Structure 1
Amino acid sequence: MTRYVALLKGINVGKAKRVAMADLRAVMSGLGLADVATHLQSGNAAFTAEDPGDAVGRAIEKALLDELKLDVRVVVRTHAQLVAAVGSDPYSDIADDPAKHLLGFFSAIPDAGRVAAFEDLVKAKHVDPAVGGLHHIDRDHCYLWCPQGALKSLFGTVDWDRKLGVTVTMRNWTTALKLVEMSA
């Protein structure tokens, strides 16, 4: 049995894709997932399962569509993957506000050509990092430091999914640390 976290993209942001965490826990428990726990109204859930994370993620997506009529992408990480991602933070020395410090999770490792094109796009914008922010892509996740806030950063204007060709879902640093704790 492995302890995982499911990261649902775009849940309870604005008026779209609203789901009560009790309903999310019920859907996941109905799939045979054990020890399901959610965090706030954030679309994050820790659980225990025997199956591989990618298979569980697909099953959660299907169950959410079938039972709650929600078309939602789900990215799944193990506790060890979360710990490694948090521990490798390149901005730990400068990121002094966890609300402006983000950890992004990818559904897969993006194609190298797409990553290069993304980097070219960022360079072409010639944005001051003190305003537009900093980023670092590390295989299947990324780090953002947005000193003026994510919405005012360059990265708030980029369609990450389309540019990288994978599902990308972001969590602020406080939530990322809570997910590490919940998945232990």
Structure 2
Amino acid sequence: MTTYVALLRGINVGGQKKVPMAALRELLTGLGHGAVRTHLQSGNAVFTSPEKDPRLLARDLEQALAGRFGFEVSCIVLSAAELRAAAGRNPFPPSSFEPSKLVVTFLSAPPDAGRLSTIDASAYLPDEFRIGEREIFVHCPQGLGTSKLMPVLAKATADVVATARNWNTVLKLMAMTE
């Protein structure tokens, strides 16, 4: 059995795409997954599965969510090892940021480095970003709500599924996979 983390994009935000976490746990259990747990109301689940392909798990979960709730929800599924590896690529030293002001945007595929290279990073200071393998690390020292960089990055990654989690959530999800 492999432990996975499912990251659902854009649910329970402003009353849109409501997916209760109890229903998400039921759905994952109904798909045959074990040890299902959720974190927060923003679509974070940890579960075990004998399946070896996280992309297949994401596709199956997306289809099940559409069937159950009647709307599309994009998902990214990472193995616990993939989540730990992504966190290990964090280029910002832990003492240099408040965990709530560092966001990891997880991507369904590697980002288009050419498209991201066209962003004039100096125009968005003090916010800054670094590109990982299938993630983008974004530090917003004045908070995410005022960041002008986040919408620019969202446009630059519009060709892939992207969903962001703050560093506190990443750490909690890693702890839940142990």
Letter of the 2:2 counterpart: T
Residue equivalent to 2:48? 48
Residue equivalent to 1:129? 125
Structure 2 gap segments, 5+ residues each: none
What is the aligned-residue identity percentage?
38
2: CA distance, partners of 1:180 / 1:44: 11
- Contact 2:106-2:135 at 8 Å conserved across structures: yes
* 1:128 to partner: Cα distance: 4.8
User: Which of 118, 134, 141 is matched with 2:135 structurally?
Assistant: 141
Residue equivalent to 1:77? 78
Alignment of 1:19-168 (within 5 A): 19-51=19-51, 52-93=53-94, 95-110=96-111, 114-120=112-118, 122-123=119-120, 126-130=122-126, 133-158=127-152, 160=154, 162-164=155-157, 165-168=159-162
* 1:93 to partner: Cα distance: 4.5
Residue equivalent to 2:5? 5
- Secondary structure at the aligned position of 1:6 is classed as strand
User: Which of 158, 172, 179 is matched with 2:173 structurally?
Assistant: 179
- Contact 1:64-1:70 at 8 Å conserved across structures: yes
Q: Which moved more, 1:90-99 or 1:42-51?
A: 90-99
- Contact 1:103-1:143 at 8 Å conserved across structures: yes
Q: TM-score, normalised by structure 1?
A: 0.89
Q: Which moved more, 1:89-98 or 1:8-17?
A: 89-98
2: CA distance, partners of 1:167 / 1:48: 22
2: CA distance, partners of 1:25 / 1:58: 17
Letter of the 1:62 counterpart: Q
- Secondary structure at the aligned position of 1:42 is classed as coil
- Secondary structure at the aligned position of 1:127 is classed as helix
2: CA distance, partners of 1:177 / 1:34: 21
Letter of the 1:181 counterpart: A
* 1:88 to partner: Cα distance: 2.1
Structure 1 gap segments, 5+ residues each: none
- Secondary structure at the aligned position of 1:7 is classed as strand
RMSD over equivalenced CA pairs, Å: 1.6
2: CA distance, partners of 1:60 / 1:74: 7
* 1:12 to partner: Cα distance: 1.2
Letter of the 1:24 counterpart: L
2: CA distance, partners of 1:15 / 1:76: 24
* 1:68 to partner: Cα distance: 1.5
- Secondary structure at the aligned position of 1:99 is classed as helix
1: CA distance, partners of 2:166 / 2:47: 20
